[in-house]
C-alpha cells in the first residue's frame, strides 16, 4: 500500500526567527516536547535547529546561549519533502542524507514535519522503532541514569 507524507506527518509548524536566542529555542523545545524547531522568516523555511545543535555546538563549546542566535547554529537549506510525496521517497532521503526528520513544505512554506518514527510506524510497525514510536512517552522517561 502506498502512503503519502500527508498521511504520516505531524501537522503544524513550530518555528522561531533567525535572531531568536538559543535559550528561547531550547525553552520552546522543552515546552512542546520536541527536539527540532524550524527556523523561518516571513513564513519561509530557512533552516532547522535541534536540541543536539544547542548542546554540542554551543553549550559544549562554552558559548552563552542567551546571546548566541539560532541563525549562528542552525542547519540551513534542509532537505524537505512535500505532503504529496510518497513516504518511500522520505525514507530514501533520510537514508541518503543521514537525517531523522524532514520538514514538510508546500510552496516553500513549512506545513509539518515527518520523522523517522512516523515512517517506521507506517513501513514496519512491528519493528522495534515502529513499536516504540506508537507509545506516548511518560513524563519520567529519560530521567533514569544510563
User: pLDDT tens digits, residue range 59-72?
Assistant: 999 999 999 999 99
Mean pLDDT over each residue of the chain, to the nearest integer:
85
pTM given for the model: 0.81
pLDDT-derived band at 84, boundaries 50, 70, 90? very high
pLDDT digits (tens, 9 = 90+) for 7-18: 999 999 999 999
Task: Write 86-93 long-range contacts (CB < 8 A, 24+).
Answer: 86/2, 86/3, 86/4, 86/5, 87/3, 87/4, 87/5, 87/7, 87/8, 87/114, 87/119, 87/122, 87/123, 88/2, 88/123, 89/5, 90/5, 90/114, 90/119, 91/119, 91/123
Higher per-residue confidence, 38 vs 127: 38
What average pLDDT does this structure show over 107-119?
A: 91
pLDDT-derived band at 125, boundaries 50, 70, 90? low
Task: Specify the CATH class of 5-134 in words.
Answer: alpha beta
Residue 35 has pLDDT above 60, yes or no: yes
Residue 137 has pLDDT above 80, yes or no: no
**Residue 133's pLDDT is what?**
42
Amino acid at each position: 500500500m502506498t502512503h503519502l507524507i500527508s498521511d504520516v506527518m505531524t501537522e503544524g509548524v513550530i518555528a522561531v526567527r533567525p535572531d531568536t536566542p538559543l535559550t528561547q529555542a531550547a525553552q520552546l523545545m522543552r515546552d512542546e516536547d520536541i527536539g527540532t524547531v524550524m527556523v523561518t522568516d516571513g513564513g519561509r523555511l530557512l533552516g532547522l535547529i535541534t536540541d543536539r545543535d544547542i548542546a554540542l555546538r554551543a553549550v559544549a563549546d562554552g558559548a552563552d546561549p542567551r546571546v548566541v542566535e539560532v541563525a549562528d547554529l542552525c542547519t540551513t537549506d534542509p532537505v524537505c519533502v512535500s505532503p504529496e510525496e510518497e513516504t518511500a521517497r522520505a525514507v530514501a532521503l533520510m537514508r541518503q542524507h543521514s537525517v531523522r526528520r524532514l520538514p514538510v513544505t508546500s510552496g516553500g512554506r513549512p506545513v509539518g514535519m515527518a520523522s523517522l518514527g512516523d515512517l517506521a510506524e507506517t513501513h514496519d510497525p512491528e519493528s522495534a522503532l515502529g513499536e516504540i514510536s506508537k507509545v506516548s512517552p511518560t513524563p519520567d522517561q529519560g530521567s533514569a541514569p544510563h
